[in-house]
Structure 1
Amino acid sequence: MTTALITGSTAGIGAAFARRLAADGHNLVLVARDTKRLREQATELHDRHGIEAEVLTADLATEDGIEAVAKRLDDRRDPVDLLINNAGFGNKGHFLEVPMADELTMLKVHCEAVLRLTSAAVEGMRDRGRGGVVNVASVAAFVPRGTYGASKAWVVQFTQGVAKDLAGSGVRLMALCPGFVRTEFHERAGMGTDNIPKWMWLDADKLVAGALSDLARGKSLSIPDPRYKAMMGVVKVVPRGLLGGITSRTGRKYGPQ
């Protein structure tokens, strides 16, 4: 049985990955900040699927948290075969409305933690000649929408660059770019979602199924929904100057309030 490590595992996309991978027979290392929720999740997945679920409490906004997860990924005696870098959050407000400390924390979780954990995981995977990393980004990576979009753009570029560097090694890397998914993400950020059209919402379990299918096919970028694929196709051909104005107006109309 192979082992998968999932950050931000207790809710949303992370929980959907945990459910699917456990059902497929993978042992799990579940990473989040809430020990109680982690233990409840581990017990449920073990009882339902008969897999081993290890709990690792860590806050990836801290040095100690990143180090703890990196140390687990570097364990060659009990190797991790699949890393899901899913932990992330949003800040409510436009630029200069969000405290600089919160902006820097976002960069630490979305960029520094992803860089360091990917590095910790991939070194052993390369030596073994197999493994995979899914770095959860966002369709916001493709439009000019502040620090969140910029951090997710970094995730996409970093992941695809490393995927090319490791081509032929047996290690696959993929950036996953979902749109709006019904999770705790917006609630935790204090964002309202009543103004987002129903057709824009995605199901987390279907998203994960599509993502794992894309990873198995060797894709380095996954936008596993026809609606968002079409939207991102349009984005590619719109001039950047015009795109900035469109995304700003769209953000005010449909973005979380």
Structure 2
Amino acid sequence: MTTALITGGSSGIGLGFARRFAAEGHDLVLVARDQPRLDRTAVELQSRYGVHVDTISADLATVEGCDLVEKHLGSAVVDILVNNAGHALPQPYPRGALADEERMLDLLVRAPLRLTHAAIPGMTARGHGAILNVASVAGLLPAGTYGAAKAWLIHFSESLRLDLAPRGVRVLAVCPGFTHTGAPHIDTIPDWIWLSVDQVVDQAMKDLRRRRPRSVAGRHFKLYATAVHHAPRRLAARMARSRTPKN
């Protein structure tokens, strides 16, 4: 039986991946900061799907939190890593506090960099594995520090995918648009634009099987991603001035 380790695994897209992998018979390791919520999620998944669920309470925006999860990745067999933990900021750069910006970058960039580094040796030694990095369509446009961090994660994933494919490890950049994750709803965004967590997870699993480099769910967001890719940079920058989708 294989094991999936999912950061931010007790809510939102992370919980969606946890449910999907559990339904497919994978054991789980869930990482988040809130231990009581982790415990409730573990009980729910174990009783519903009959899989084993471990939990790690860790703040991945800190060196200590990353160390804790890295040690597990280095000592246990983890076949699938989902780097999902993350958040955006309410104020665009530079209006927000610099400390908040640094903490967000630690969570969105440093944490997946370190956890992926810890997971790769075991996966390559076994000749199989998968790494899913939850980015955002915001990473396809010049969209502030959040978009810049997600752009880094997309390019990191695509580069890593080429390096690891010959060694049996698949890498996918998951790029959601606006998704109902349980976070506060943005009232100015029409309902038809929003995705469900299951839509994002369903598309990601299909694209992982197809060995695609990126996964974008929803026809409208696929069109959005295609338009951004082909648009002149001046037009893309203009598009970025409007509200950019965040998972």
Structure-1-length-normalised TM-score: 0.93
1:47-196 alignment to 2 at 5 Å?
47-75=47-75, 78-185=76-183, 187=184, 193-196=186-189
Deviates most, 92-101 or 52-61? 92-101
Extract unaligned runs of 5+ from structure 1.
Answer: none
Q: What is the match of residue 244 of structure 1? A: 237
Aligned partner of 2:63: which letter?
A: E
Q: Is the 8 A contact 1:142 1:149 kept in 2?
A: yes
Q: What is the match of residue 205 of structure 1? A: 198
SS of alignment partner, residue 39 of structure 1: helix
CA offsets per residue over residues 119-169 of structure 1, 9 Å max, x none? 111111001000000000000001111000000000000011011111211
CA offsets per residue over residues 68-116 of structure 1, 9 Å max, x none? 11111111xx300000000000101122211111111111111110111
Distance (Å, rounded) in 2 between the aligned partners of 1:243 and 1:227? 17
- 1:206 CA drift (Å): 2.1
Q: Is the 8 A contact 1:195 1:255 kept in 2?
A: no
SS of alignment partner, residue 165 of structure 2: coil
Q: Is the 8 A contact 1:196 1:255 kept in 2?
A: no
Q: What is the match of residue 4 of structure 1? A: 4
Q: Is the 8 A contact 1:22 1:49 kept in 2?
A: yes
Seen in structure 2, the aligned counterparts of structure 1 residues 255 and 141 have a Cα distance that, compared at 3 Å, is closer
Q: Is the 8 A contact 2:178 2:195 kept in 1?
A: yes
SS of alignment partner, residue 133 of structure 1: strand
Distance (Å, rounded) in 1 between the aligned partners of 2:229 and 2:3? 37
What RMSD in Å do the two structures reach over aligned CA positions? Answer: 1.3
Extract unaligned runs of 5+ from structure 2.
Answer: none
Distance (Å, rounded) in 2 between the aligned partners of 1:91 and 1:53? 31
Q: What is the match of residue 219 of structure 1? A: 212
Deviates most, 239-248 or 111-120? 239-248
Q: Is the 8 A contact 1:214 1:222 kept in 2?
A: yes
- 1:255 CA drift (Å): 7.0
Aligned partner of 1:207: which letter?
A: V
Deviates most, 129-138 or 218-227? 218-227
Q: Is the 8 A contact 1:180 1:202 kept in 2?
A: yes
Seen in structure 2, the aligned counterparts of structure 1 residues 184 and 128 have a Cα distance that, compared at 3 Å, is same
Q: What is the match of residue 27 of structure 1? A: 27
Q: Is the 8 A contact 2:137 2:245 kept in 1?
A: no
Structure-2-length-normalised TM-score: 0.96
CA offsets per residue over residues 30-60 of structure 1, 9 Å max, x none? 1000000000000110011110000110000
CA offsets per residue over residues 165-188 of structure 1, 9 Å max, x none? 112110011100000000134x3x
Give every structure 1 segment of 4 or more consecutive aligned residues whose post-TM-superposition deviation is greater than 4 Å. none
- 1:207 CA drift (Å): 1.3
Aligned partner of 1:87: which letter?
A: A
Seen in structure 2, the aligned counterparts of structure 1 residues 218 and 255 have a Cα distance that, compared at 3 Å, is closer
